[in-house]
Structure 1
């Protein structure tokens, strides 16, 4: 009998793409033995704030009134009713948008994958913030791109550092989360947005603006999209998401792209999954047409604002002397840096045993990890639970750094 040959190995491009430490940690948290765990680990919306009744009514309406359409294949670009709503929402927030610029995606993460497929060839360079969004690093590396970083400070990406990085690396694409950034919670101010748009225009650079958090603002005034600034309209791709404001389980996002790029994105979408779930799009379109969406956003912000405030109020007692942290005006995250020489990862096991979880910050760095950093999410617990979790975290950090 001939011994069968082994099958070929997985694609070589996967060799340099690791699993997301956050997703791995969430799996660990879900199996934790502590029955009263307070998790600051996941960037998750609070499930008690889902409008489950309104969404159930929307699904019932779709299945009752138009089941043949809702259960059938649908256009690659998306349900026209949902695209119309998305375009109107952008327009109402100061970014004039035609529905023809919109492609509905299976979560904004797919939108990022489509952009990578449409714009990047193996070996191309992508510039990202340091620290930055983990899943974006996965996506770009899977596309075979080289990832280089841009320095940030308390106001986010430094335009002068960006100009220098563009000169040094000759990138094709710049990826940013300019509003309530993941993981730091920082927001690019108006002057920096204008300066970054000018750098991109001067050097012929694509901008990918990932915008999942901007609806969740608790203080300050909204800022324009990067695509609204001079020189940026023809080179900025905006990624949007329903996950943080409606339901992550529905996996609905979108890409708003300059008109010339849309056909390439549509081809990439066809190759990925033909189209996003017909019934989920239809139900979302019905829900958004009938619900008071601004009031829903107000309810989310009214719930999350005191949770953010509780975390910020509790951090001085929970963290060892010399620690620093961000004070976000919105979003889901506070970014902490422990005193020089600390290693957040070394505290994680003890923290889990003590009933509290966080995300070590080092994996969010593409080039030069800072082991003293960690990310805390405040959205999924009440202010009282946040206080209890911070007390537990403080006991661990004091015991192990004191």
Structure 2
């Protein structure tokens, strides 16, 4: 039998990153490819205690069906968590719990995008977002970024020209760019949202993973200072990078009418996020263990980021340009071709695999006009010694 698939699948492809993982079974390979947190840093003892507390306190609630909007105690804890991040006026009923922040993006696509709608994203941006929004028929328009995040002058021109359904941004330690939107530009984004009556989607899975100084306040936190901006803002958060991706706990804060539609669509897909996972997360947050966990992962990731940037400068020199990250999980780099060196990210990735090291070429992270000289390196899951060895292998792949 020939299966006739939905037309919406005509313009989406399998993730280039997931395809790359198929090549990583080679013994001894050093992987800078994944965007995963390091499982060795998971607070297993704290999560185990939270599991036990959930089963001891309300076993029926933890193991039963739950409300689509989310487990009440977790929504309260998440509202309190947002307050520690500067968003002090978030009430529990103003957020819904999602199955990871990825589901929040899918719900945004389901509720807002009709075929042909225009959506502005950063260039580059999160690959899964490109795939998700295209699945619902969006025409994606790339806004340029630099080390300080999206270039707001260019963004405003694109908003004026295209009148998008919404603008999607990762303002803090972006994936893949690692860029952080400056405080001045954050305010500018909120002001243009009001000026042009444009919805802004803020995706913030990495904001707690800073190395030295905290980043500027989130758009959500700053919205209290820009009248009219809050009702034009959606904020997506996640515990995946700071606690455990296996819990699949994320959340979305949005205007009431959008939240209601998203809740309705969530009913159609999974009814509710796992109540057991939600109860576990609620007890973990209530235990007060999160600050210590964050302090530990920040220290480790900072050491690894420093090791990678230092090794890249030493081994590859002028052949690779990048801005040292101030947080997050990634180094975003560009091959310069200096000294006649290779300047094609795809070819570099193939040569690197042969040398026993993997990374993700940058082209798939662009919704349009990809820069094929770019690449994304993740330092999160590799120890310092292996990072140095892996970068030495990169030098052999690029220059050898």
Query: Normalising to structure 2: TM-score of the pair?
Result: 0.95
CA distance in 1 between counterparts of 2:2 and 2:99 reads: 31
Matched, 1:93 2:94: no
CA distance in 2 between counterparts of 1:87 and 1:364 reads: 32
SS in 2 for 1:28: coil
Residue of structure 1 aligned with 2:128, choices 125, 135, 147: 135
The alpha carbon displacement at 1:91 in A equals 1.8
User: Which residue of structure 1 aligns with residue 274 of structure 2?
Assistant: 277
User: Which residue of structure 2 aligns with residue 149 of structure 1?
Assistant: 142
Matched, 1:254 2:251: yes
Residue pair 1:320, 1:338 contacting (<8 A) in 2 also: no
User: Which residue of structure 1 aligns with residue 260 of structure 2?
Assistant: 263
Matched, 1:67 2:59: yes
Residue of structure 1 aligned with 2:38, choices 46, 49, 59: 46
SS in 2 for 1:13: helix
Residue pair 2:351, 2:398 contacting (<8 A) in 1 also: no
CA distance in 2 between counterparts of 1:151 and 1:65 reads: 50
The alpha carbon displacement at 1:291 in A equals 4.0
Query: Normalising to structure 1: TM-score of the pair?
Result: 0.94
User: Which residue of structure 1 aligns with residue 19 of structure 2?
Assistant: 24
The alpha carbon displacement at 1:353 in A equals 2.3
CA distance in 2 between counterparts of 1:376 and 1:129 reads: 18
User: Which residue of structure 2 aligns with residue 323 of structure 1?
Assistant: 320
User: Which residue of structure 2 aligns with residue 339 of structure 1?
Assistant: 336
User: Which residue of structure 2 aligns with residue 164 of structure 1?
Assistant: 157
CA distance in 1 between counterparts of 2:293 and 2:238 reads: 15
User: Which residue of structure 2 aligns with residue 83 of structure 1?
Assistant: 75
The alpha carbon displacement at 1:8 in A equals 4.8
| Root-mean-square deviation (Å) | 1.4
Matched, 1:126 2:123: no
The alpha carbon displacement at 1:292 in A equals 1.8
User: Which residue of structure 2 aligns with residue 179 of structure 1?
Assistant: 172
User: Which residue of structure 2 aligns with residue 12 of structure 1?
Assistant: 7
- 4+ residue runs over 6 A deviation: none
Residue pair 2:142, 2:368 contacting (<8 A) in 1 also: yes
The alpha carbon displacement at 1:139 in A equals 0.8
> Residues 166-315 of structure 1 correspond to what in structure 2 (within 5 A)?
166-227=159-220, 228-229=222-223, 230=226, 231-315=228-312
Residue pair 2:199, 2:233 contacting (<8 A) in 1 also: yes
1:259-298 deviations in Å (ceiling 9; x for gaps): 3322111111111211001111111111221242111100
Residue pair 1:156, 1:188 contacting (<8 A) in 2 also: yes
SS in 2 for 1:219: coil
The alpha carbon displacement at 1:372 in A equals 0.7
